[in-house]
Amino acid sequence: MASQLTLAITPSGRIAGIDEVGRGPLAGPVVTAAVVLDPARPIAGLADSKALKPARREALALLIEERALAFALGRAEVEEIDRLNILQATLLAMQRAVLALPFVPDHALVDGNRCPVLPCSAEAVVGGDGRVAVISAASILAKVARDREMVALDGQYPGYGLAGHKGYGTAAHLEALRRLGPSPIHRYSFAPVRAAGRGE
């Protein structure tokens, strides 16, 4: 189970955890979440979203939405990913999530090794989604939101298997790309998509 960093490391106040889902896929947006947990309403079982089964993630997402002081999602679309690059698009999506909160947090803990430009102090925490409860919560909300969207997009763009692999470069996805060519939600800045677009 994830645990919060000690107060010697984490300033007191309203701390936002920030995480992203969808940097690696060949299709779909990158989705981020910012969460401020309520110390008076703890949530047991928070962990890196990738380590949780889908049903458990869904249940925890409901608890986070019920008990958190605040939460918000951010995103960057495929066009922005292709124009900016995936790192800059991810940082932009993180910034959007924080700006969508109903208040400015006192501090932000960001999963990874880079921080976006934010209206509050921030620090990067490598592996934070498995170590820091508030980042774990953000990881779960972002993962649940993006997975739901990819399932919906599977209906709009059938044949790629988006509901199963969520846009990641699985063997089945790569084969579908070669067979069907890229869809409007594929990332042309990613080499396998470019290759499929050229018919390679």
- Residue 196 CA to residue 162 CA, distance in Å, equals 17
Query: How high is the pLDDT of residue 198?
Result: 75
Instruction: Answer yes or no: is 90 within a domain.
Output: yes
The CATH number for 49's domain is: 3.30.420.10
Check pLDDT > 90 for residue 1. Answer: no
Residue 194: inside a domain, yes or no? no
Reported pTM: 0.92
pLDDT at 3: 41
Residue 151 contacts residue 162 (beta carbons within 8 Å): yes
- Name the one residue in this structure whose structure tokens are 């124009």: 83
pLDDT digits 0-9 by tens, 29-67: 999 999 999 999 999 999 999 999 999 999 999 999 999
SS3 state of residue 17: strand
* Domain count for the chain: 1
Q: What is the pLDDT of residue 12?
A: 59
